A and B are shown apart, each in its own frame.
Chain A
Amino acid sequence: MNCEEFEREFANLEHLSDDSAALEAHRASCRSCAGLVSDVKFITAEARQMTSSSEPSGRVWRQIHSELQKSGLIKEPRQTVFAPAPAFGWFPRMSMGLAYAAVFVIALGVVYIYSILAPRVATPALPQPPNPPFAQVFEKIPPQQRSTYVNHLNQVDASIEQLKAFLAAHPEDPFARQELFTTYQQKSRLWEDLVRWHDFSESTAPPAIPEAIPASSQP
């Protein structure tokens, strides 16, 4: 068997482990073909272990959710952003004592870690929320679709108000600041979706998403 025959037969294998005696004999005497086989084995072994590290943006779920709502597959109102729907609807069915104990222990851990890590510095001013002209665009879309957007916007705005009030009382809380930033992003994305899915010739450009909450070291 020469190298060309080897490669043709190797390419025709159903599984790499189906190696024939002839293939093995050639491999034993040919470094080039042995290298080819070992590389293919290496590549396929790595490929099978490739995990899914990347994930789709939050937009995908929002679209799915809104489609499910439109088609009536979801039969309950969406929960507010600030109090997100528990990811596990069956969580309350756990022994409640156990659930509360777990939450308490986690909360203690978070408080402890935060007490170690939190920098003791001045709190920066809050950025302003994005404020695109929703009302103008709402006028131009069909009423059935409008109500979904209006509800969503009201929920996001309510969350922003809640978080601002909370931050006024607890200005150094980094979790609430992050949450506020997230709701700003949600509002910006809501606007982007609105503009993207409804082609308005005279519509304004989507607002810029705030870069980030200023680092706590800023005055």
Chain B
Amino acid sequence: MNPSPEVPDSREANAIEEAKKGSAAAFEYLYEKHKRRVYSLCLRMTGDTAEAEDLTQEAFLQMFRKIGTFRGESAFSTWLHRLAVNLVLMRLRKKNVLTSSLDEAQGQDPGENRVREYGAADVVLTGAVDRVTLERAIEALPAGYRTIFHLHDVEGYEHKEIAGMIGCSVGNSKSQLHKARMKLRELLQMRPTGPSESEAETEKEQK
């Protein structure tokens, strides 16, 4: 993983020490500081708000229960993040979402499910695709694809790390990522293209 450079945060270190002593305010500070990142990780990987909240709660609780052993060699956020990823993967594995979609993919010829016709120039994505559209497209990905795309392209994990976390081969992780990106590209190219087109549709229907 290539986390953004961690700036030593003395307030956070202070909060960790206070939390070890049992300060509610310190726990709350740590929660407030990291809740968005953990929650959005869980939400994007599961695609379900209730489940994401449940996992966020579990990640923080596990983290806080072990806070007495935290020595500060690694960044708190990295530790928490890794914990959250593992919890999500465990949950997806339990629900069989991950393994079934990976198993399916493993048996597939890499050329299957191709959405691209070679030689034909596709509609190229532009800056017109906004963040919300991209988020929706990611949500629409099958669970296995979404997990690998999220881990690699959003969180910045390497294929080797992902393979270790998920229990698949590096080649499988790469091919899943490629398929996820192609699926996203397809979803984004199919996005509604503004009011003029839908107005035309309505007009057609009225006739």
> Which residues of A does B touch, CB under 8 Å?
2-4, 7-8, 10-14, 31-32, 35-36, 38-40, 42-44, 46-50, 52-57, 59-61, 63-65, 67-68, 71-76, 78-79, 85-90
Contact = CB atoms under 8 A, between A and B. Distances in A.
A39 B129 CA distance: 11
B116 interface: yes
The 10 A-B residue pairs whose C-beta atoms are closest, nearest first, are: A75-B22, A11-B178, A52-B40, A3-B118, A52-B36, A89-B25, A47-B153, A56-B39, A31-B121, A35-B124
Interface string B163-207: 000000001001101100100110010000000000000000000
B7 interface: no
Given A61-B28, A68-B27, A54 B153 contact: no
Contacts of A10: 178
Contacts of A90: 11, 14-15, 18
A89 B18 CA distance: 8
Nearest to B125: A39
Contact of A54 (B39, B181, B184): B39
B94 interface: no
Contact of B154 (A47, A64, A73): A47
Contacts of A76: 22-24
Contacts of A13: 174
Given A55-B39, A60-B57, A87-B32, A74 B124 contact: no
Contacts of B15: 89-90
B29 A87 contact: yes
Interface of chain B: mostly helix, strand, loop or mixed: helix
Interface string B142-158: 00000001000110101
Interface residues of B, number: 63
B65 A35 contact: no
Contacts of A89: 15, 18, 23, 25-26, 29
A68 B129 CA distance: 43
Interface in B1-31: 11, 14-15, 18, 21-29, 31
Interface string B24-51: 1111110110011101110100000000
B119 A32 contact: yes
B72 interface: no
B111 interface: yes
Given A40-B181, A52-B39, A74 B121 contact: no
B46 to A, nearest CB: 13
Contacts of B64: 64, 68, 73
B56 A56 contact: yes
B25 A63 contact: no
23 contacts: A2-B118, A10-B178, A11-B110, A11-B175, A11-B177, A32-B116, A32-B118, A43-B184, A44-B153, A48-B156, A50-B131, A52-B40, A52-B41, A60-B56, A68-B24, A71-B65, A73-B27, A74-B27, A79-B24, A88-B29, A89-B25, A89-B26, A90-B15
